[in-house]
Amino acid sequence: MTPQPHEIIHAHIYSAYTARCLQAVADLGIADHIDDDPVPVGELAAACGTDPDALHRVLRLLAAHDVFEQRHGGYAHTPASRLLRGDHPMSARPLARLMGLPLHWHSLAQLPHTVTTGEPGIDVLDPGGLWAYLQGHSEEAETFNRAMTSKAAADIPAIVEAYDFTPFATIADIGGGRGHLLRAVLDSVPAAKGVLFDQPSVIDPLSFPDQPRLTPRAGDFFSAVPAADAYILMHILHNWDDERVARILATVRDAAATGATLLVIENVLPDERPDPTALSMDVIMLALTRGHERTVGELSVLLEGAGFRLTGVTEASGSMRIAEAKAV
């Protein structure tokens, strides 16, 4: 049956509680205590130090959304809930924990202020913004870094499968963090060399003795980046407003030879249809940064202003898209 208008509104109003249940279960590590067989809620509660009735009610709600399954007097895994195990190769537990941190919930609570002023809600917590806040909250920063690594692990296989990196001799991952994407790309292109470029605090502790074709380089992508045949910007541009995006793109263009390739990998909004996941990420950017997700058309304008021409957009997985541009 088609939901009634009030049912649609009510479902969205109450969805915050479902999200919070998911985050609490991830934080408590409940999924790690379930394997192939159902586990009675009393055993789960004892193992995790929780109240049995409260845990049952939380898991029952999640099971109604296909996260866990209630059967044989206990709770078992579904394919979705297995992703909450810490040992899953594509574990979403760090990301769920991140979304439950004060930086997210307190920023979200400031959304009326954000909508009124256009200023990120995180600025109420720290006038310096998200990055300053994380510098002052080391535990949340560590959760943030683990979540970004976790999300990348889920996205990377689809990116490597969707795009052909073989034409490039040198590939630079700009703002590439700990190198998970670049390592996967180099594994798929044995003839290529890679340059991992990020801030000194990220790069200095890293070494890659098992991957001699990967060279770490420290710097600031607002100032200068290394020369390469192809440049990757994954989940970078959406963190910044148009002015700073223009600066980043100009820096890359200064280093790039004519004909070099730039790959912008993030939740590029399709012009022709709404994408709820990408639009949700856009509001997260609204609450946490001065950036936003951009449509293909909006991204094309910024690229052209920096001396690039958009040549195509490749679907990866979910909301992830690879926008390819050439230096002109």
The distance from CA 66 to its chain's CA centroid, rounded to whole angstroms, is 22
**Do 124 and 132 touch, CB atoms closer than 8 A?**
no
- Of 177, 257, 168, 184, the C-alpha closest to 216 is 177
From residue 248, how far is each of 173, 195, 231 by CA, in Å?
13, 17, 12
104 labelled catalytic = no
Task: Look at strands 321-327 and 170-174 and give their pairing.
Answer: unpaired
The distance from CA 51 to its chain's CA centroid, rounded to whole angstroms, is 32
**Do 53 and 6 touch, CB atoms closer than 8 A?**
no
Based on DSSP, count helices (H) and strands (E) in the chain, helices before strands.
15, 10
Of 56, 180, 238, 292, the active-site residue reads 238
From residue 93, how far is each of 18, 146, 190, 191 by CA, in Å?
15, 9, 32, 35
DSSP annotation of 272 reads: S
**Strand extents, DSSP E, the chain:** 39-40, 69-71, 74-76, 170-174, 193-198, 214-218, 230-234, 261-266, 308-315, 321-327
Could you tell me which residues come within 8 angstroms of residue 278 by beta carbon, excluding any fewer than 6 positions away? 267, 268, 269, 293, 319
Amino acid at 204: D
Name the token pair of 254: 């200064």
* Distance of alpha carbon 66 from alpha carbon 25, whole angstroms: 14
Cβ neighbours of 249 (radius 10 Å): 26
Beta-carbon-side half-sphere exposure of residue 97 (alpha carbons within 13 Å): 26
Could you tell me which residues come within 8 angstroms of residue 108 by beta carbon, excluding any fewer than 6 positions away? 121, 287
What amino acid positions are annotated as catalytic residues? 238
